[in-house]
Structure 1
């Protein structure tokens, strides 16, 4: 199934892994929300989990010729960091339209850090942390 990706941490535009993995390999990037989800801080990157909240992120549509490779790279990277890929309904900010997307949620048993009440990892605290390097 070919779906866009809902990204909410280091894969968002301007952050370290976006620039390293996605920059120049997407056709559309638009602000989006993921309802029914809570955001927790992690060891240099956030974890989303099902819950009574909304996470802020970006809906990223890879270029067709890059899709299979990006899916494999993201599955490998995120799977090694305690995430599982699942399909969820995101909402486009510009018009509120729903969009089914792949999202990487924390796998069961993954230790979670503090709740990020804003639901936006970029707004969790001041400083340049969203651009910090991440170990795949």
Structure 2
């Protein structure tokens, strides 16, 4: 894996068993349970896009649980383009739904890894902090409701 080919920290519908996982299935080298410190997880229920959204935690105390997916070099650019499309992200775009951000995640053994993840765009994050539905334990797989 080249330095520019960071793995992806996924926390919602891309996780194994979830509805968008087929986009990554068969295209990854490994999956590692991890958490993203300093982030909160919301469900966008009742909004135009009812998806999971990670947003920075102003207190820095919370951590979103998910997995790090390492993607093979030979399909990396294709996977990156597919994920950007799924997440409605265009580099430098002003109408993005999500923003792809380089973050540092922590594996269960405490090892830190740089990865890409998709945070809610600022305008969506502001709304979620005021009136969003927080996901229990910041863990999509433990969510209740929609």
1:69 to 62, 68, 78: 78
Question: Residue 86 of structure 1 aligns with which residue?
Answer: 101
> Secondary structure of 2:15's partner?
coil
Give CA deviations for 1:34-83 in whole Å, capped at 9, x if unaligned.
Answer: 00001111144210011031000010011111100010111111026711
Which consecutive residues of structure 1, in runs of 5 or more, have no partner in the other structure? 130-136
Residue segments in structure 2 that go unaligned for 5+ positions in a row: 90-95
Residue 103 of structure 1 is matched in structure 2 by 117
Deviation at 1:114, TM superposition (A): 1.1
- In the alignment, the residues of structure 2 paired with residue 124 and residue 13 of structure 1 have an alpha-carbon distance, to the nearest angstrom, of 15
- 1:33 — aligned with what? 35
Aligned equivalents of 1:85, 1:106: Cα separation in 2: 9
Q: How does 1:43-58 map to 2 (within 5 A)?
A: 43-51=49-57, 52=60, 53-58=62-67
Quote how far apart the aligned CAs of 1:117 are: 3.8
- How big is the alpha-carbon RMSD for the aligned residues of Structure 1 and Structure 2? 1.5
SS of the residue 1:30 aligns to: strand
TM-score norm. by structure 2 comes to 0.80
Aligned to 2:93: none
The 1-side partners of 2:122 and 2:50 are apart by 19
- CA distance in 2 between counterparts of 1:15 and 1:63 reads 21
Q: 1:22 is matched with which residue?
A: 24
So what's the TM-score if we normalise by structure 1? Answer: 0.85
- Structure 1 runs of 4+ aligned residues shifted over 6 Å read none
Q: Name 1:125's counterpart in structure 2.
A: 144
Distance in 2, matches of 1:46 and 1:85, equals 14
